[in-house]
């Protein structure tokens, strides 16, 4: 009889886990994929929405993709569970409950701007497509005012407990390039304040260096280790007493888990406690967690998919009675869009156990920490933007088979030539 596996979440981790498991254990497994949304949203490319991209181009219907892979798809919200009985309770959908032999949880995160008084009321945010469209409107207004001769101040803000600052760095560089093209850059002051001790702290000293050079080249005023305490209309107050003014505030708020699932063990933000390499939820041998929903401190689509592969591999190995072929080795890969150029980073990471600086570059992976800046990396970002939706649309995992081997080889060649 086929083993019943339920995967919850229709994002990067959920789709990757479901498609990977199907690819590895076809015929031996019955997979049900549950998601509160019927569409997959390709969030990393939502950075283009404020500058004109139609958000509809980032949506992919999950139902047909799952059907292609022979996976049952249920649109419903997971509300609770009984891990002793292996049962899930669903709201807003049919059926009202599901039974599983193995469960992979990939329900992602959500924003909690309320942690910083005033942030939710005064800042433009970047989590949803609607927020990105709202930002588009605010940027157009800003350009209009700048053209009329009203000097404008834009402040980018990363508060503590944001777990993925990269996109805000992309947006500040993209905005600078875009304002130059609009011919109004001189009328706009841009500042960037982050709680991090180094810019894009999680990705180590080389990324910090790149950002410092870019801020200097572009005339952006950057400050680190500034902890936002309160947001008032037109000014942000920081813990050490300083303030920064703004006409437009753009922020990426603190993260919490999207779904709290007692009695599963979780940290104080609801992120599920997992064994690092296998993604098994601590104390629950049949339950795994991948992506933003789990307790790995850096939240990223690339890391989410690596975790999903590792979780699905564990489940596949148990069903097939084989040894797992891979485990989760935290390595981040990202390409940071800047419009006039782009920055590539390949960063092997290590957990430190220090809550102030929970990850650091893994020095043992000497030579694999690579960073490069070149307009050619924009092509790499475009390629990933086509490759990933193409794989998912066809019910196939991102990291598997010959297409991924070819993609990886291409990235390696580019990284040898264009990064150090």
Ligand X SMILES: Cc1cc2nc3c(=O)[nH]c(=O)nc-3n(C[C@H](O)[C@H](O)[C@H](O)COP(=O)(O)OP(=O)(O)OC[C@H]3O[C@@H](n4cnc5c(N)ncnc54)[C@H](O)[C@@H]3O)c2cc1C
List contacts with ligand X (CB under 6 A).
8-14, 34-37, 43-44, 46-47, 77-78, 106-108, 126-127, 164, 167, 258-259, 291-293, 299-302, 304, 334
Spell out the residues 6+ positions from residue 197 whose beta carbon is closer than 8 angstroms to its own: 224, 225, 356, 357
Please state the closest distance from residue 364 (CB atom) to ligand X, in A: 23
Cβ burial 134-159 (10 Å sphere, 16+ → b, else e): bbbeebeebbebbeeeeebbbbbbbb
The minimum distance between CB 353 and ligand X, in angstroms, equals 22
Nearer to ligand X, 237 or 382 (CB): 382
Q: Say how far apart CA 359 and CA 298 lie, in whole Å.
A: 8
| Residue 23 CB, nearest approach to ligand X (Å) | 18
Give the C-alpha separation, 167 to 172, whole Å.
Answer: 9
- Structural contact between residues 255 and 109, judged by C-beta atoms closer than 8 angstroms: yes
For residue 222, give every residue at least 6 positions away whose Cβ sits within 8 Å of its Cβ, in sequence order, or none: 191, 192, 193, 194, 199, 211, 212, 215
Q: Which residue minimizes CB distance to ligand X?
A: 11
**What span, in angstroms and rounded, lies between the C-alpha atoms of 73 and 31?**
9
Q: Cα 131 from chain centroid?
A: 16
Shortest distance, CB of residue 45 to ligand X, whole angstroms? 8
Name 59's bridge partners.
Answer: 41
Q: What share of the chain is helix, strand, coil (3-state, %, to 5)?
A: 40, 25, 35
Q: Find the shortest distance in angstroms from Cβ 75 to ligand X.
A: 9
Nearest to 371 by CA among 390, 407, 346, 396: 346
Residue 292 and residue 272: Cα distance in Å, rounded? Answer: 9
Q: Least distance (Å) from ligand X to the CB of residue 215?
A: 20
We find the least distance from the C-beta atom of residue 335 to ligand X, in angstroms, to be: 7
Residue 43 vs 185, nearer CB to ligand X: 43
The CB-of-411 to ligand X minimum distance in angstroms stands at: 14
User: Shortest approach of ligand X to residue 241 CB, angstroms?
Assistant: 31
Provide, rounded to whole angstroms, the least separation between the CB of residue 244 and ligand X. Answer: 22
Q: Are 199 and 208 in contact (CB under 8 A)?
A: yes
Question: Which of 268, 271, 272 minimizes the C-alpha distance to 83?
Answer: 272
Residue 239 Cβ, how far from ligand X at the closest point, in Å? 25
Specify the residue, 109 or 146, whose C-beta has the smaller distance to ligand X. 109
- Give the separation between CA 32 and CA 35, rounded to whole angstroms: 10
Tokens at 374, concatenated: 């070149």
Locate all alpha helices (DSSP H) within 299-393, ordered by sequence. 301-320, 377-393
CA-to-CA separations, 144 to 96, 137, 147, 150, 182, in angstroms, rounded: 51, 11, 5, 9, 10
The 10 Å Cβ neighbour count of residue 331 is: 16
């Amino acid at each position: 009889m086929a083993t019943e596996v339920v995967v919850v979440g229709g994002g990067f981790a959920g789709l990757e886990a479901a498609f990977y498991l199907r690819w590895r254990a076809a015929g031996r497994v019955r997979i049900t994929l549950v998601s509160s949304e019927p569409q997959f949203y390709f969030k990393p490319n939502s950075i283009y929405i404020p500058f004109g991209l139609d958000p509809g181009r980032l949506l992919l219907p999950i139902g047909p993709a799952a059907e292609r892979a022979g996976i049952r798809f249920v649109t419903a919200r997971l509300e609770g569970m009984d891990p002793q009985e292996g049962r899930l309770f669903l709201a807003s959908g049919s059926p009202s409950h599901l039974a599983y032999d193995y469960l992979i949880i990939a329900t992602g995160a959500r924003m909690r701007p309320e942690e910083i008084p005033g942030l939710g009321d005064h800042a433009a945010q970047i989590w949803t497509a609607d927020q990105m469209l709202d930002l588009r409107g605010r940027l157009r207004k800003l350009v209009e005012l700048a053209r009329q001769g009203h000097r404008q101040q834009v402040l980018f803000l990363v508060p503590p407990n944001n777990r993925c600052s990269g996109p805000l760095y992309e947006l500040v560089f993209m905005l600078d390039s875009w304002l130059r093209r609009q011919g109004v850059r001189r009328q706009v002051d841009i500042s960037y304040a982050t709680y991090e001790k180094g810019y894009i702290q999680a990705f180590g000293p080389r990324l910090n260096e790149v950002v410092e050079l870019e801020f200097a080249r572009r005339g952006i005023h950057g400050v680190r280790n500034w902890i936002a305490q309160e947001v008032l209309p037109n000014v942000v107050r920081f813990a050490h007493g300083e303030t920064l003014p703004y006409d437009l505030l753009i922020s990426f708020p603190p993260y919490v888990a999207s779904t709290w699932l007692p009695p599963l063990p979780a940290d104080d933000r609801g992120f599920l406690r997992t064994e690092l390499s296998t993604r098994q939820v601590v104390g629950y041998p049949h339950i795994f967690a991948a992506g933003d929903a789990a307790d790995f401190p850096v939240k990223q689509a690339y890391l989410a998919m690596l975790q999903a592969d590792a979780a699905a591999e564990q489940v596949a190995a148990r069903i097939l009675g084989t040894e797992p072929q891979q485990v989760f080795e935290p390595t981040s890969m990202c390409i940071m869009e800047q419009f006039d150029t782009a920055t590539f980073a390949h960063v092997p990471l290590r957990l430190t156990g220090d809550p102030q600086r929970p990850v650091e570059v893994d020095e043992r992976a000497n030579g694999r920490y690579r960073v490069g800046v070149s307009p050619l990396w924009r092509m790499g970002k475009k390629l990933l933007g086509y490759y990933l939706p193409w794989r998912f649309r066809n019910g196939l995992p991102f990291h598997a088979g010959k297409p991924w081997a070819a993609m990886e080889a291409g990235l390696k060649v580019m990284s040898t030539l264009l990064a150090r």
